[in-house]
Structure 1
């Protein structure tokens, strides 16, 4: 009799356990390879649904509303600031039943606790008439059609010679094409972009052959900061070899590719001097690819634009360092 009672008890316990499993709320898993940016906690229960990381890129930080967009559907802000460095982009979905106000305030408190200074903050329509364009490049329309409950902020942290800029957008999903993402109307979604700009040495990263191919395809050009020269000369420094290795590998992987190799300088010195220097540096890169790697000269066109295409102001060492670069552009 006791064995029968014990068996019944075990069955009842198992049934209760199974019921708990069935009724417990499901927690969606992060997409493969995704991870939080170190030092910035996600909202409790949130899941990463879109993730990307770049070693180096240029990013426009919003410091004012986005009331217009250019021909490429990129937002035009009333005020903005340029940042360059490693970019981490994270899109989160938050469990249903929580408001965007609560999530945004949680992030604000988290950033303040870590010492971030808010540079710009806006809500709803104050974010701008074209806030739909701010995050249109993440690969879905997750953030394109939900402006009413939206919150946006730009924040910055300077520490140990590095600068970390954060652009945060929190809203409640209304509509938009979101392939592969489970999201319901009214559910809170979060976009967190983090741009980490370190010292000059940190910026001189080697761009891989795969990243060169991706940059040329997605942006039509890619900047290389790992190709360096002696001051005011066109002599390649030995530490340029890793970057040249990757350019040669890209050209080997795509035998049909032809590229313009474009030299850029800062504005120190006269215009004509810098124009000539940029052309000579581009020619030095082409010569190295031909002589050292066996790339056909017919696939490479050296050119130089001197200081005429800056990506940052030339009024600081950091800005001038960003402008001194070699860019690759498809022919």
Structure 2
């Protein structure tokens, strides 16, 4: 009798476990190597179906509708700004039966709770006549033909010297070629692009005064990546200050040293344009060292070689970033 009770008990436990497994929500099945961007939670039960990262890129941040496209089917927004930094791209599918309205509101609340400021928001047709082109570069047509139930926003968070920009697009799948992705018509889908700039770049580029001296002694030149400028401009960005501090300290420690300050660019744009730009950037560095740090102008010679002395191929964003630099060379 006890044996039979034990058997019935085990059967009951097994049946309960099976029922619980059926009732429990499915665990998100992400593609290999994918992970959420830290600090931004996914919608419950969602799966990452497309994932990519870049250490550095330039990104056009939408601040208005996408009503036109240019060469290469790139969207043109009525308002936008360029940002640069590390890019994380995440495409999610949400469990069937949940509306894009619900998913979008959850993301809005999540971003608001984290302190993000919304820069642009639109729904449906207000996202633009060519919203189909906004995410056409992710390697699938998951979002290209699913515009009617769409919601879009751009948001920004500035904190502790870093800036995080978010581009969020939530809609319901309608049609498109989606190899390797299981998605049903009407299923909510999410595209999340996150661009992080500031501290992330500063951590790998600041060179100390002592390291400048060692580099010049050993190699005859040293590249500085912590001196930064906006795209196609020669005004020093505020995050250049730590690098300039170290250059000034090096010159103070070695008062007899005279240096060439040489600007370098990538090959985006014409050669003459980049030559002019590189010279202007070198001159901006010299001006800052003279006016802000009291370095004698006769110790500094600004020069620019544009794209003519690359240290990497100009065929990727990461390598082009290596070519954009300021070098110091003893006179």
| TM-score for both structures, normalised by structure 2 | 0.65
Alignment correspondent of 2:3:
3
1:82 aligns with 2:110: no
- Tell me how far apart the structure 1 counterparts of residues 28 and 193 of structure 2 sit (CA, whole Å): 21
Listed one character per residue, the Cα deviations across residues 152-200 of structure 1 (whole Å, up to 9, x for unaligned) are 0001111111111100000011111111111111111111100011159
Alignment correspondent of 1:325:
324
Alignment correspondent of 2:67:
67
Where 1:170 maps in the other structure, the secondary structure is: strand
Alignment correspondent of 1:160:
160
- Tell me how far apart the structure 2 counterparts of residues 40 and 192 of structure 1 sit (CA, whole Å): 10
Where 2:43 maps in the other structure, the secondary structure is: coil
Contact 1:100/1:170 (CA < 8 Å) preserved in 2? yes
Listed one character per residue, the Cα deviations across residues 310-330 of structure 1 (whole Å, up to 9, x for unaligned) are x9xxxxxxxxxx89816xxxx
- Cα distance change of structure 1 residues 17 and 281 upon mapping to structure 2, 3 Å threshold: closer
- Cα distance change of structure 1 residues 324 and 5 upon mapping to structure 2, 3 Å threshold: closer
Alignment correspondent of 1:215:
none
1:233 aligns with 2:269: no
Contact 1:55/1:205 (CA < 8 Å) preserved in 2? no
Find 2:305's aligned residue among 275, 279, 285: 279
- Tell me how far apart the structure 2 counterparts of residues 325 and 6 of structure 1 sit (CA, whole Å): 74
1:146 aligns with 2:146: yes
Listed one character per residue, the Cα deviations across residues 110-145 of structure 1 (whole Å, up to 9, x for unaligned) are 111111111100000000111011001111111111
Contact 2:167/2:193 (CA < 8 Å) preserved in 1? yes
Contact 2:93/2:188 (CA < 8 Å) preserved in 1? yes
Contact 2:202/2:226 (CA < 8 Å) preserved in 1? no
| TM-score for both structures, normalised by structure 1 | 0.65
- Cα distance change of structure 1 residues 12 and 282 upon mapping to structure 2, 3 Å threshold: same
Aligned residues: 248
1:265 aligns with 2:278: yes
Contact 2:170/2:191 (CA < 8 Å) preserved in 1? yes
Alignment correspondent of 1:241:
none
Listed one character per residue, the Cα deviations across residues 209-240 of structure 1 (whole Å, up to 9, x for unaligned) are xxxxxxxxxxxxxxx9859899863499xxxx
In our comparison, the structure showing a higher alpha carbon Rg is: 2
Contact 2:263/2:304 (CA < 8 Å) preserved in 1? no
- Cα distance change of structure 1 residues 40 and 277 upon mapping to structure 2, 3 Å threshold: same
- Tell me how far apart the structure 2 counterparts of residues 109 and 235 of structure 1 sit (CA, whole Å): 45
Where 1:144 maps in the other structure, the secondary structure is: coil
Question: Superposition RMSD on alpha carbons, in Å?
Answer: 3.6
